[in-house]
Amino acid sequence: MRVLQPGQGPVPGDAYLPASTDRLTWGRLPCAADAAVLRVDPGSTVTVDTVSHEGILEDQGRDPRAFFGRHGVDPDLVLDDAVAVAASRGLRTAGVDGPHVVTGPIEVAGARPGDLLRMTVLETVRRVPYGVVSNRHGRGALPGEYPVEGTSYSVFAGVDEDADGTAVGTLPLVEGGPHDVRFPLRPFLGIMGVATAGTERPHSVPPGPHGGNIDINLLTTGASLYLPVQVPGALAYVGDPHFAQGDGEVALTAMEASLRVTLRLDVVPAADALEQFGALVGPLAETAEHLVPTGMDADLDVAVQDCTRAAIALLGARYGMAPAFAYAYLSAATDFDISQVVDLVKGVHCRIRKADFARVAAR
């Protein structure tokens, strides 16, 4: 087993951004009043260390070496930056702010409101060989039923390799049992966003037009996220690293664990953005196979409706498809997935196959 401590190991990006306490926020997202901790040109690549909040929170003792030690993790396998965040004072107000550790913000030169920021995930590297899945605050898909006892429950998850060398996540069937349950790992960032206008930092839990805690598990290596720029320089940030997450994230968290990610940050000028995507009002993801519009609302039904409207608008802008025919296509050919139901604002995304429009020249 190995860990990627700050500053150690490969750093493939043009710039490196560690998760030191002077380069992050905890429980809040950057806003226009925040100063950039890194400045880059469009097209630059940045390698960013992210720190999971699991193991450093108050209900876990705010001592990651002790918390993970109870699960058999050697102190040398606990990240130094996680220890530093847990020991910090003044970064977060417990019970008021969210749990997430957010690295940034990064200023992208020339980005202006009206443009889109494209964040492309080039690489994700596991920083530790373990993670945690938690249920707390009477939240999750079954509030009032779970946690069964107390107000929080955290399940320690391991990382192992199959016979072919593929990394998998592991869980026991019961407390203290052998880790006989094995499932695929698909690392991604739960939080990818741009700063909001104004002087008040948004809470880290609910997602919105700025992105933030969108928890879309399609945003693995090779995927891109487009976000409407809200302040000069965009002020991009990332956090909430996951090793694996099912759609819905029903228990409250995914398999939360720290990642080192390399991103490319591009600016799509306003005129090009309008031509390619229409008047984008919220996050849009893209993978090799799919365009992925989103919808977000406290009411899941409204989130589905918003996602449907976003998809109709996208098909019209990109391919010239009439709204009634786009609506029909979505009903016949497109899956609408629940991103998550646990972040106060629920998320829905749909997967439009780009191959379905191979005969149509994009506008």
Tell me, what CATH number does 113's domain have?
A: 2.60.120.580
Domain boundary among 271, 299, 333: 271
317's tokens: 């802008």
149 and 198, same structural domain? yes
pLDDT tens-digit readout, 119-158: 999 999 999 999 999 999 788 999 999 999 888 999 999 9
At 272, the amino acid letter reads D
Q: Is the pLDDT of residue 175 over 70?
A: yes
CATH number of the domain at 327, please: 3.10.28.20
Q: Is residue 281 part of a domain?
A: no
Domain boundary among 223, 239, 271: 271
144 and 31, same structural domain? yes
294's tokens: 């989103």
Q: Which residue has the higher pLDDT, 361 or 320?
A: 320
pLDDT at residue number 138: 80
305's tokens: 């409706």
Q: Which residue has the tokens 């400045």?
A: 39
340's tokens: 């998550």
Q: Could you tell me the residue range of the domain that residue 304 belongs to? A: 289-357
340 and 202, same structural domain? no
- Whether this prediction's pTM lies above 0.85 is answered by yes
Pairing of β 224-228 and β 116-126: antiparallel
262 and 164, same structural domain? yes
Please tell me the total count of domains within the chain: 2
Q: Is residue 180 part of a domain?
A: yes
127 and 41, same structural domain? yes
Q: Is residue 236 part of a domain?
A: yes
